[in-house]
Amino acid sequence: MFEYRATLDPSVIEDIARRKLAAAQAGAMVGARKFRERAVTALREDVRRAGLGDRLANTWRAEVYPRNGASLTPAVFVWSNAPEIIAGHSNDGMLRGRSGNWLAIPTDNVPRKAGRAQAPMTPADVEAHFRTELYTVPARSGNLLAFIRIDGRAVPMFVLVRQVALRPRLNWQRIGEDLAEVYADDIGAGIAEALGRA
């Protein structure tokens, strides 16, 4: 009869465990970074699909924590640099002018600003561009119409309103819930891949 016993140096086992833990932590961080990109891409695409443009879409940001080092349980913090605008397009709401002022909605007659964005000119820009003041006429709806005289004829430039009803156009809450379901999967996949290499 034979009896075999292995004697292992505890420092070898500790070294293996340390290397596996480091690999798992690095893999979790890779998974978190992958998730960060997935989240930002999904939220930015939502804004673009709503027709709100790249400028608002690019306000979505995300950061992986810890920023330095590694962790088995990294966190991903996602936010928008324009939370009021995002919220305004996510719920039924009203957009009102500041301090009770009118909101100026440009007509197709309003020239565009020079530059990359080529946004419509503001009322002040229009007055400076044409070197004359806008004048208003009450509309039947209770709003005002702002005109400017060009070559002796009145050209409508803006519809002035007290408030505008916004309909929901963004789905960031639903996207956030959907992303929460895949976060653990991304972390797990990162860990599994890293341990497969370790």
Q: Please report, in tens digits, the pLDDT of each residue of the chain (198 residues total).
A: 787 777 777 888 888 889 999 999 999 999 999 999 999 999 999 999 999 999 999 999 999 999 999 999 999 999 999 998 898 888 777 777 777 788 899 999 998 888 776 788 889 999 999 999 999 999 888 899 999 998 889 999 999 998 888 788 899 999 999 999 999 999 999 999 998 876
Cβ contacts of 96 within 8 Å, gap of 6 or more? 103, 162, 163
DSSP label of 66: S
What is the phi/psi pair of residue 3, to 5°?
-130, 130
Residue-level pLDDT at 145: 93
The CA distance from 43 to 58, in Å, is: 9
CA-CA distances (angstroms) from residue 69 to 5, 16, 22, 191, 194?
40, 20, 10, 15, 16
Inter-residue contact 29 to 64 (CB < 8 Å): yes
Residue-level pLDDT at 198: 64
CA-CA distances (angstroms) from residue 13 to 6, 18, 138?
13, 8, 84
The CA distance from 75 to 36, in Å, is: 10
Inter-residue contact 11 to 189 (CB < 8 Å): no
